[in-house]
Amino acid sequence: MSTPSVFANVVQAPEDSILGVTVAYNKDSSPIKLNLGVGAYRTEEGKPLVLNVVRRAEQMLVNDQSRVKEYLPIIGLADFNKLSAKLIFGADSPAIQENRVTTVQCLSGTGSLRVGAEFLARHYHEKAIYIPQPTWGNHPKVFSIAGLSVKSYRYYDPTTRGLDFQGLLEDLGSAPSGAIVLLHACAHNPTGVDPTLEQWDQIRQLMRSKGLLPFFDSAYQGFASGSLDADAQPIRMFVADGGECLAAQSYAKNMGLYGERVGAFSIVCKAADVASRVESQLKLVIRPMYSNPPIHGASIVATILKDRDMYNEWTVELKAMADRIINMRQQLFDALKAKGTPGDWSHIIKQIGMFTFTGLNTNQVAFMTKEYHIYMTSDGRISMAGLSSRTIPHLADAIHAATSVA
């Protein structure tokens, strides 16, 4: 008789609140099933999209016989890091010109946040990090596992389905001096609600006056407005005042490189010598975690960002994705209005970015999954990027039924 497993006491863990939705969707055999859970762009035909410019860059890389598969340095591809910093902070950023920025290639947005969190836990005096309520489900896990102490600040007001700006100012105003504050650079996930530029400036002033440390999560640059520069404005405002800040960048959505896991983590410091010491410590964070990052995705990004023609082609394809999402918002809103679905659905067209925070409750979501095979996170978030003109009537029917019965 064999002895019981040494892991016999391991308990079954719940599925991830976002990626678990895809697991459930994959098990459903209904032909009408629809996955609006994970934030991943789909075409009008409901298919994943590889951008033409990405295909072109990959072709060039494959054809270049001089390319090898050697290890990258611990902090990744140098060109990729420089170009990523320019993309987020602006080509003419004084912080970059003064060598006050250190940028390291990481494993997409999540890996960038994680490296940043580890660095802060080791080298920053204040362990409290304030995250918006609500926020991306992985944020609290990434920060707490690194040893930071996660607190929240008010962000979303369910009654207006907009920003709770007063609550936000009050909560940041009473945070301990020096606390870290996680800010979504644009297209807040899950709510699709962003501060205006005037509000951003008020947030900046308050944070600087209290010495709070901004940590931007930029997962959707270009996906919110269709413009890379406009979407980076809030971060650039904070950098322009000469103060310090951290930023995590992802190329998952804006270049459609989800599975390539390509992103960057930057720290803007007050002086070049500090930035260089910070970089030396980031290497010590990265090396025992995954040694050094993968080469392929970063090479695609660097190829596109350094070639004017390819960069322009990217911006056109990016804008087309952003515009299609905006169009889906209008179509869904019109469909619900035409049906006379109870409630005010104007937030669908007011919110921006990949997601709509519908206001549907857990029971209504469960009803829509059971009766209509529509999959979404239980907080009522839907990925607008997963919709098409063909599937909107089905979603509108489901929302109509859910708000009438549940």
Residue 314 binds ligand LMR (CB under 6 A): no
Q: Is 253 one of the annotated active-site residues of the chain?
A: yes
Q: Which residues, numbered 11-30, are part of the site for ligand LMR (CB under 6 A)?
A: 18
What is the size of the binding site for ligand LMR (CB under 6 A)? 6
CA distance between the termini of the chain: 53
Cβ distance to ligand LMR smaller for residue 114 or 204 = 114
CB of 39 to ligand LMR, least distance (A): 3
- C-beta of 38 vs 129, nearer to ligand LMR: 38
Euclidean distance between CA atoms 67 and 21, whole angstroms: 39
Q: Which is nearer to ligand LMR, 136 or 333 (CB)?
A: 136
Question: Which three-class secondary structure state does DSSP give residue 44?
Answer: coil
| Minimum distance, C-beta of residue 355 to ligand LMR, in the bound complex (Å) | 8
**Binding mask 56-95 vs ligand LMR (x if CB under 6 A, - otherwise)?**
----------------------------------------
Peptide bond into 134 cis (omega under 30): yes
Judged by CB under 6 A, does residue 38 bind ligand LMR? yes
**Which residue number has the CB closest to ligand LMR?**
39
Does 136 interact with ligand LMR (rule: CB under 6 A)?
yes
Question: Binding residue for ligand LMR (CB under 6 A) from 25, 34, 35, 39?
Answer: 39
- Distance between CA atoms of 26 and 22, rounded to whole angstroms? 6
Task: With beta carbons less than 8 A apart as the criterion, state whether 116 and 214 touch.
Answer: no
Query: DSSP of 285-306, one letter per residue?
Result: HHHHHHSS--SHHHHHHHHHHH
One character per residue 165-194, x = contact with ligand LMR (rule: CB under 6 A): ------------------------x-----
Nearer to ligand LMR, 295 or 382 (CB): 382
C-alpha distance from residue 27 to each of 18, 35, 46, 363, 375 (Å): 15, 12, 18, 21, 11
The whole-angstrom separation of Cα 307 and Cα 11 is 51
- Mind giving me the DSSP string for 165-186? HHHHHHHHHTSPTT-EEEEESS
d(CA 49, CA 42): 6
Interatomic CA distance for residues 94 and 352, integer angstroms: 30
129 lines the binding site for ligand LMR (CB under 6 A)? no
Nearer to ligand LMR, 90 or 353 (CB): 353
For this structure, is 136 an active site residue? yes
Contacts of 121 (CB under 8 A, 6+ apart): 127, 146, 147, 148
The residues binding ligand LMR (CB under 6 A) are 18, 38-39, 136, 138, 189
Active site residues: 136, 217, 253
